[in-house]
Amino acid sequence: MKNLGLQHTTFVLCLSLALPLFAQAPPQRIISMAPNLTEIVYDIGAQDLLVGDTDFCKFPPEAAKKEKIGGWYNPNYEKILSLKPDLVLSLKFTGKSVETLQKLKVPVLVEDCQTIEDVLTAYDDLGKALGREAQARKAKAKLEARLNKIRATPSQGNPVSILFVVDRTPGALDQIYGAGPKNFVDSMIRWTGGENILSDAHVPYPLVSKEQLLKRDPDVIVNALPPAHGRSEEVLKETAVWGALPALKAVKNHRVYCFDNPEYLIPGPSMVGLGEFLSDVFQKARSQSH
């Protein structure tokens, strides 16, 4: 998949693969190689152990001040070794970085947080690995309560069909990538009363043709923008780009929503914001259709 602007979207990953979880003392110096894992580290109160993270770890804001080790696909191994970590937290699809770290004798815990369930499991894994089990249970319960509130919101009427765009060519309707099945965005859509038009795709984030869009004709289009488009005038400009497909219901009915909140697309505690955003969008769509 094209880079997805996705060093911003961070669509990522909780399945323990690499480490026998500690029979000895918990680690004292950890590095996070993914924004969502960094968020969880902070959420369980283990940030005092965090000696480094990636260039893309910006939430919470304190994470941006940590020593930087590059990106998850292209980490600076010399920098990692210089920080003397006794544990690196990584994701399932990070190229060869996990294999390289293991060859360098650096302990690695690999997680796979594509779905909401995976994210919740990561709280258990990190709590156990970092010696913060009680804090992790408390943080997980708080996150579950917020998620359940979204899920419990009653949906009036039929599901609202949606195309959720995770990336496209800026200023044009080219190279459109949407959220398909088996990821937390798809779960959020269903939980908040939506119907994902790409739920039958064969990959989590498929490339979408204009022909497919016209055929499936969603009620709503939600388009995530990278941070570079974070100014309000840029959001308006990128929303207007969809006018190139005036036959779409979502365009005709002015139900194209672009947003510039990259933290919504991090599968960790801040993903609740995405659920709240979608709830508002679907509620608007239903009220306008009456």
Nearest to 116 by CA among 199, 14, 6, 263: 14
Whether 178 shows a pLDDT value over 60: the answer reads yes
Beta bridge pairs of residue 222: 164, 257
Q: What is the pLDDT of residues 29-76, one digit of tens each?
A: 999 999 999 999 999 999 999 999 999 999 999 999 999 999 888 899
- The one-letter code for the residue type at 266 is I
pLDDT bracket for residue 226 (50, 70, 90): confident
For the chain, where are the E strands, in sequence order? Answer: 30-32, 50-53, 67-68, 87-91, 108-111, 160-167, 176-178, 194-196, 207-208, 220-224, 256-259
pLDDT bracket for residue 25 (50, 70, 90): confident
The whole-chain average pLDDT of the chain stands at: 88
Q: What is the pLDDT of residues 203-225, one digit of tens each?
A: 999 999 999 999 999 999 999 99
Could you tell me the CA-to-CA distances from 38 to 2, 45, 67, 69, 167 in Å, in that order? 24, 11, 13, 13, 23
d(CA 230, CA 187): 25
- Sorted by where each starts, the structural domains of the chain and their CATH numbers stand as 30-151 (3.40.50.1980), 156-289 (3.40.50.1980)
pLDDT score of 14: 33
